[in-house]
Amino acid sequence: MDKEPGRELLNVIDIEATCWDGQPPPGAVSEIIEIGLTVVDLRARERLARHRVLVRPARSTVSAFCTELTGLTQAEVDTGLSFTDACRLLAAEHEAGRRPWASWGDYDRNQFTRQCRATGTPYPFGRRHTNAKIPFTATHVLCKRPGMAQALRIAGLPLEGRHHSGADDAWNIAALILDLAARDGWPSPRP
């Protein structure tokens, strides 16, 4: 847990990656192009900070389908950091290696793992990851794990911002986590 006295900080991460309507073009791979991060204080039950990191893809480009889905353009992500620099920023400015983190599902964790291996970039996060879908599904006694937008409807929370924007989705996932914490449905932190 974060060492600030009286705080229980959690990084909530949501990424967007290059994508296509169908198969990727020859030689292209899905790469992270946006990292949304919301810092949550679980003890105070509030969202403290909202961050957006644009990442410049090295082995793919932003398709028209991806722009329609995420709102991100190639010109916009061209202004971003390299993937390696984005991972360094997460570690240096957001204590990603020390602070527990959560995402909606395992896609974000798996994409970081794949991309770190492919690029030789050190993995920026520690081992304390929570797939927020699991406690949400258990708390709401659901048979299937819902997507984020559906989970917001189930919890009676508004969708704030644009769905499939990393920064906005991280903000919304943080709201779901705080709602779970208020219902005693968020797991206790592990050392």
- Could you tell me the two tokens for 135? 């406690």
> Is pTM, for the whole model, over 0.85?
yes
Termini Cα distance of the chain: 7
pLDDT digit string, tens, across residues 130-183:
999 999 999 999 999 999 999 999 999 999 999 999 999 999 999 999 999 999
Residue 30 lies in a domain: yes
Residue 190 lies in a domain: no
pLDDT digit string, tens, across residues 66-115:
999 999 999 999 999 999 999 999 999 999 999 999 999 999 999 999 99
Residue 147 lies in a domain: yes
Residue 4 lies in a domain: no
Domain count of the fold of the chain = 1
Rounded Cα distance between 136 and 146, Å, is 9
CA 160 distance to own-chain centroid: 15
Residue 21 lies in a domain: yes
- Give the domain range for residue 25: 9-182
- Give the pLDDT confidence score for residue 6 in this predicted structure: 82
- Give the pLDDT confidence score for residue 188 in this predicted structure: 79
Nearest to 122 by CA among 86, 166, 170: 86
CB 66 within 8 A of CB 22: no
Across the chain, mean pLDDT equals 95
Residue 98 lies in a domain: yes
Residue 132 lies in a domain: yes
Residue 2 lies in a domain: no
CATH number of the domain at 176, please.
3.30.420.10
Confidence of residue 1 (pLDDT cuts 50, 70, 90): very low
Nearest to 58 by CA among 28, 35, 25, 23: 28
